[in-house]
Chain A
Amino acid sequence: MTNESNPSTSSAATRATTGKVRPHPSQNESLVFENSSPGKRGYKLPPLDVPAVDTKALLGSAAREVPAGLPELSEIEIIRHFTRLSTWNYAIDLGMYPLGSCTMKYNPRVNEFVSRIEGLADAHPYRPDSLAQGALEVIDLLQRCLIEITGMDAITLQPAAGAHGEFTGILLVRAWHESNGNARRKILIPDSAHGTNPATAAICGYTVENLKSNADGGIDLDALERQVDSETAALMLTNPSTLGVFENQIHKIADILHAKGALLYMDGANMNALVGKVRPGDFGVDVMHLNLHKTFSTPHGGGGPGSGPVACKAFLEPFLPIPVLVRREIEVNSPATESWENVGDDPLPGGTLPMFRAPAAEPLSAEDPRKQRVTLSWDYNRPKSVGRVRAFYGNTGMFIRALAYILANGPDGLRQTTEDAVLNANYIRAKLQDLYELPYKTPSMHEVVFSDKRQAALGVKTGDIAKRLIDYGFHPYTVSFPLIVHGALMIEPTESESLQELDLFIAAMRSIAKEVEDDPELVKTAPHSTRVSRLDEVQAARKPILRWRG
């Protein structure tokens, strides 16, 4: 490595560059409350066109006496405040974000644009179904696409995120078992699973039983055979696993469970490795969730909003949360129905979107439903339903974005996306496995998990390497997860990285491996280039300060 690609703390080297980052001024900015002065305004309401009211008289003792301590700023200060804060963030838009299990892929801007189209963004959830046919059409088309992609039979889009989807999915499992006379007692969860899995099982009233991984990090079939019994409700399996490994015994796993009347739940967090190549519904999965904010490109937004649809086989369909979207055909003889030709139950004939035939300029008349040949409506009369898992219908704004992503890709784009994601992970694996320990040699899919074994011998841990990566202009990989790998470095590049960006990342990781040998302190005290250095998390937790006080 040349000096150019080896930043350090010395002032001479501060100007050095890895080819991706250079030192860059960053504006100081106070808390918004500290910028406030009484009398400054960032808003202007229009004059009231109705008589003003005396709110204190109307509310009586329920009136607010002390105004909330909100800040008072002008518009330019508001723009600067949040813009300055934004520059303190790393983001996909700035570069590779190799967080394993998080699928930090490009978030297309057309998704943002279409989600803000007036007729969709302004739609009230309780407007009559006849005035919401556009939103329902979007939901219906996304549902059909996701059913096709997963190979399942039915779906609900209601869950707000992945963990909420897990909750919904396990409720379906429970309801089905109850309908057979016994809810059963336990859920099996591999030791490599996401923390949400056991937390979900507990919330659904199940006991969690740990399933130890085999030598390859996969499901140990013998152990599974021993542990599955008449009280096992389901196995929650992530496939590919959190090691990025496809469970190639998946059909046997499903068979073992099904033989004892237990179900196979799939955590779809890693679906980015499978779309267009293989379908969970074909390999024995009974119910699964998807993360639209991972696989389907809706933005993470600093921690949400997400969306966690749950797809299931037909026998679980009666238990889906209410309401469920239903299609009804209406026979009419109106000339307007021409625009709805060929829109039947056949999903997406010829790959054409039904709505492209709808009259775009003229909104359908509300008082004349005869102009609609297919109507979509919400069905609440579902006696076997597990109930409602949230108000309204789900994070519709995220459905719009996910559908825009699917439309932009098409079947060929979705497949190529998966292939590129897997190619990128394997490229990183090939280029780093001589310097970083690969605890499991099984083939990688969309992510690769190394361990810090060699670096830890020199006193440098995965968390240190991750922090040092920041100085090279990259977001860290996922640290210390999955738990079955001691000192894990979990790297998921996604399909969104160019060869150039991958090579820069690989160069950075190789350079850090060398630093660990030459100057471990440099790595252990990283990052050196950020506006704050390592933060005292112990103090934050010991005496929590969770709000500003003036």
Chain B
Amino acid sequence: MRYLPKSPDERKKMIAEIGAKSIDDLFAIIPEEYRLTGDLNVPRQHAESEIVDYFRAAGDMNATRYASFLGAGAYRHYRPVVIDSLVQRGEFLTSYTPYQAEITQGTLQAIFEFQTMIAELTGMDVANASMYDGSTGAAEAVMMAVRITGRHKAVVARTVHPEYREVLSTYAKHQGIEKIPLGYDRETGRVDLAALDASITEETAAVLVQSPNFFGVVEDIPAIAAIAHAKGALLIVSIAEAVSLGAVRPPIEADIVSMEAQSFGVALSYGGPFCGVIAAKEQYLRQMPGRLVGQTVDSDGYRGFVLTLATREQHIRRERATSNICTNQALVALMATIFLTVYGKEGIRELAEHNMAKAAYAAGRLSTVPGAKLLFDKAPRFHEFVLKTDEAPAVWSKRLLNSKIVGGIDLSRWYPELEHATLWCATEVMPRESIDTAARALAAAPVEA
């Protein structure tokens, strides 16, 4: 086996030095009735070239040459080449969690830079070293708010990503956290502020909203914060499209921000690994879940970095920890750090502008197709929009697929009231030609040459 660095003679020599007769002696403690006597029924040993062939075939089956208007929490952005050049360095790739600070300063300093960038982008004071993804991050943020306030109800906007809300339900169920759904304004697609005011009580730990929300609409965060804070509830803002922060005002009135950073240079990879992160106001630091890197000095006075405030964590606090999270998404956070360094202060703004331009063009072009119209066009949006069609999405999506285009996702899957409504996304990598082709296919007119 090519990964195993021992010759048959070396194995024999080692077994002899241990004082065993054969390798079986070392497994003698396992009751005989359970020991396997034959091979596992898994594929035979394969050559590297065969493995590459297998996954290439799998990739080809996935039908790659499609233009896609899918977004909804997973976004296609260009990934600068230097990201993979750098994260594939073995010193990053094959290093463990940096508990031994003296020999992991590289990872530690990079995480410190990540924490700084996330704090800068979100307008929060502090950010952690990462969470699994945006969905679990949002659930952890709600649990954090429950710990801070000692209250047990969470008002959750229906415009938060439906799968994030499902994950929150799974987490909340066994901790006595009650989830109160909050509707949206049918005209703007934004949180219904009157309903928000009515649903917060003295028992509300937090209000969870997403901005840009699941319909791509930017929420009125200052107004939401004012209502939440008036009754002593915390405001948690979930951000599923991190690139929006290049153009959209950060949610500085929030107490906690839970962000999915996949857009920062992380491949779609059929849904993971992505990169969640929690950022918050400084006073809530001790209730934050997950790892934190802090700056300190060594015994000679030089600047250095360590994992810190570990008394919040499971390996110290066990059942009283702020979370059970251990392994997080460090290498993906490094991708995001490199991405943000590549684009920098000006680039992230310019990138956000390109996204908005593409989406504005796509929304304009598609909504002029007969029988189609934009929903929620009274509120500002980033790079996603909701299109309502006379025809059922199942019908026109076939025409689009024939033109090698994957259209918007059917919203009735999560919002039964939004019949024939689909969520479309156009990022900076969407060619104008694909938008035009999609519009022609949607119109059902014979495709002109």
B320 within 8 A of A: yes
Known: A110-B52, A301-B92. Is A64-B342 also a contact (CB below 8 A)? no
Complex Cα distance, B73 from A429, in Å, reads 50
Interface residues of A in 39-97 (CB under 8 A from B): 40-43, 45, 48-53, 55, 58-65, 67-73, 75, 78-79, 81-94, 97
Stretch among A1-9, A310-318, A388-396 lining the B interface: A388-396
Asked whether A504 is an interface residue with its Cβ less than 8 Å from the other chain, the reply is no
Interface residue from B14, B62, B92 paired with A302 (Cβ < 8 Å): B92
Between A122, A145, A355, A364, the greatest number of chain B beta carbons within 10 A of the residue's beta carbon is seen for A122
In contact, A60 and B380 (Cβ under 8 angstroms): yes
Known contacts being A83-B89, A88-B104, is A97 close to B6, with CB within 8 Å? no
Whether A406 sits at the interface, judged by CB under 8 Å, is yes
Taken together as a complex, chains A and B put the C-alpha atoms of A438 and B285 apart, in Å, by: 41
User: Are B106 and A547 touching (Cβ within 8 A)?
Assistant: no
Cβ-defined partner of B318 (8 Å) among A82, A162, A195:
A195
- Give the residues from 203 to 251 in chain B that come closer than 8 angstroms, CB to CB, to chain A: 218, 220-222, 245-250
- Judged by a CB distance under 8 angstroms, whether B271 is at the interface is yes
**Could you say which of A130-138, A219-227, A508-516 contacts chain B?**
A130-138
**How far is B56's CA from A499's CA once the two chains are assembled, in angstroms?**
36
Query: Interface size for chain B: under 10, 10 to 19, 20 to 34, or 35 or more residues?
Result: 35 or more
Determine whether the beta carbon of B250 is less than 8 Å from that of A363: no
CB of A510, distance to nearest CB on chain B (Å) = 15
Q: Which of A12-20, A255-263, A328-336, A414-422 contacts B (4 or more CB under 8 A)?
A: A414-422
* Most-contacted residue by chain A among B35, B64, B245, B330 (CB, 10 A): B64
Residues of A contacting B95 in the complex (Cβ-Cβ under 8 angstroms):
89-92, 300-302
Residues of chain B with a CB closer than 8 A to A534's CB: 102, 298-299
B36 at the A/B interface (Cβ < 8 Å)? yes
In the assembly, what is the distance between CA of A122 and CA of B427, in Å?
Answer: 14
Q: Please, what's the 1-or-0 string for B283-305, where 1 marks a CB less than 8 Å from any CB in chain A?
A: 00100000111111111101011
Q: In the complex, are the beta carbons of B380 and A203 less than 8 A apart? A: no
Q: Given A70-B344, A124-B76, A203-B323, A131–B66 Cβ distance below 8 Å?
A: yes
Query: In the assembled complex, which residues on chain B have CB atoms less than 8 Å from the CB atom of A413?
Result: 1, 3-4, 45
A120 pairs with B62, CB closer than 8 A: yes
Whether the pair B15, A423 counts as a contact (CB closer than 8 A) is: yes
Partner of B93, one of A91, A135, A420: A91
A24-35 interface bits toward B, Cβ cutoff 8 Å, 1 = contact, 0 = none: 000001011100
Give A393 to B272 CA distance when docked, in angstroms. 8
Query: Roughly how many angstroms separate A236 CA and B66 CA in the complex, as a whole number?
Result: 46
Residue from A91, A97, A422 having most chain B Cβ neighbours under 10 A: A91
- A195 near B43 with CB under 8 A, answer no
The yes or no answer to A400 lying at the interface (CB within 8 A) is yes
Pairwise interchain contact B55-A117, C-beta atoms closer than 8 A: yes
A283 to B330, CA, bound (A): 35
Query: How far is the CB of B182 from the nearest CB of chain A, in Å?
Result: 19
Q: B271 touching A410 by the CB < 8 A rule? A: no
- Asked if B197 CB lies within 8 Å of chain A CBs, one says no
User: Is the beta-carbon distance between A397 and B19 smaller than 8 angstroms?
Assistant: no
Which of these, A291, A303, A420, contacts B107 with CB under 8 Å? A303
Whether A456 is near chain B, meaning CB under 8 Å from some CB there, is no
Residue contact B43 to A353, C-beta cutoff 8 Å: yes
23 pairs of residues in contact across A and B, judged by CB atoms under 8 Å: A32-B337, A64-B250, A68-B120, A117-B56, A120-B59, A120-B269, A137-B61, A138-B55, A149-B40, A149-B42, A160-B273, A167-B324, A205-B175, A246-B29, A321-B170, A347-B41, A348-B43, A389-B170, A393-B270, A409-B1, A410-B43, A422-B26, A539-B296
Are B135's CB and A390's CB within 8 A? Answer: yes
Bound Cα distance from A546 to B286, whole angstroms: 12
How many A residues, CB 8 Å from partner? 217
A208 within 8 A of partner (CB):
yes
Cα distance A212–B222 in the bound complex, in angstroms: 53
Given contacts A58-B380, A149-B42, are A391 and B73 in contact (CB under 8 A)?
A: yes
Give Cα A321 to B332, complex, Å.
24
Tell yes or no: B415 within 8 A of A by CB: no
Query: CA A51 – CA B358 in complex, angstroms?
Result: 8
Task: Please tell me which one of the listed residues B19, B61, B337, B349 contacts residue A364 in the complex, with CB atoms under 8 A apart.
Answer: B61
Task: Please state if A50 and B358 are interface contacts (CB–CB under 8 Å).
Answer: yes
Judged by a CB distance under 8 angstroms, whether A488 is at the interface is no
Q: Which of A205, A302, A409 contacts B96 (CB 8 A)?
A: A302
Across the interface, do A161 and B327 meet the contact criterion of CB distance under 8 Å? yes
C-alpha spacing A113/B59, complex, angstroms: 13
**CA distance in complex: A5, B305 (Å):** 30
| Interchain CA distance A68-B338 in the complex, whole Å | 15
Asked whether A470 lies within 8 Å of B112 as measured between CB atoms, the reply is no
Shortest CB distance A511–B (Å): 19
A110 adjacent to B134 (CB under 8 Å): no
| Residues in chain A near residue B295, CB distance under 8 A | 540, 545-546
Pick from B3, B30, B134, B314: contact of A278, CB under 8 Å: B30
Asked whether B309 lies within 8 Å of A305 as measured between CB atoms, the reply is: no
Q: Does B57 contact A (CB under 8 A)?
A: yes
Q: Residue B319 at the A interface, CB < 8 A?
A: yes
Known: A59-B218, A351-B44, A355-B57. A112 touches B171 (CB 8 A): no
Please give me the residue from chain B that is nearest to A529 by CB atom.
B102
Q: Which residues of B contact A246 (CB under 8 A)?
A: 29-30
A406: chain B residues within 8 A (beta carbon): 42-43
B315 contacts A119, CB within 8 Å? no
- Beta-carbon contacts of B415-449 to A below 8 Å, as 1s and 0s? 00000000000001001100100000000000000
Contacting residues, chain B, for A87 (C-beta < 8 A): 91, 106
Residues of A136-170 at the interface with B, using a CB-CB cut-off of 8 Å, are 137-138, 141, 145, 148-149, 160-164, 166-167
A52 engages B357 (CB within 8 Å): yes
Known A-B contacts A67-B346, A70-B343, A351-B42; the reply to A89 vs B104 at CB < 8 A is yes
- Given the known interface contacts A70-B345, A532-B105, the answer about A123 and B327 at a Cβ–Cβ threshold of 8 Å is no
Q: Are A408 and B46 in contact (CB under 8 A)?
A: yes
- A99 nearest CB across to chain B (Å): 6
Interface residue A215 (Cβ < 8 Å from any Cβ of B):
no
With a cutoff of 8 Å between Cβ atoms, the chain A residues found around residue B48 in the complex are: 110, 408
Residues of A near B35 (CB, < 8 A) are 277-278
CB-based contact B98/A160 at 8 Å: no
Q: Which residues in B have their C-beta under 8 angstroms from that of A245?
A: 29
Q: Do A134 and B61 touch (CB < 8 A)?
A: yes
From A138, A396, A531, give the contact of B271 (CB < 8 A): A396
Report the minimum CB–CB distance from B406 to chain A (whole Å): 6
State the CA gap A149–B401 with chains docked (Å). Answer: 39
| Per-residue interface assignment for chain B, residues 153 to 186, with 1 indicating a CB less than 8 Å from any chain A CB and 0 otherwise | 0000000010110110111011110000000000
User: Does B334 make an interface contact (CB < 8 A)?
Assistant: yes
Among B306, B324, B344, contact of A73 (Cβ-Cβ < 8 Å): B344
- Minimum CB–CB distance from A407 to chain B (whole Å) comes to 5
Which of chain B's residues has its CB closest to A245's CB? B29
| Chain A residues, Cβ within 8 Å of B65 | 363
Scan residues 377-414 of chain B and give those whose CB is less than 8 A from a CB of chain A: 380-381, 398, 401-402, 406, 409
A79, A409, A537: the one within 8 Å of B45 (CB): A409
Q: Does B34 contact A85, Cβ atoms closer than 8 Å?
A: no
One digit per residue, 1 when the CB lies within 8 angstroms of any chain B CB and 0 when it does not, for chain A 355-371 equals 11010111110110000
The answer on a CB contact under 8 Å between B34 and A304 is no
Central interface residue in B62, B163, B342, by most chain A CB within 10 Å? B62
Complex Cα–Cα for A124 and B327 (A)? 25
Chain A residues positioned under 8 Å from B358 (CB to CB): 48, 50
Which residue, of B34, B125, B350, B351, has the highest number of chain A Cβ atoms within 10 A? B34
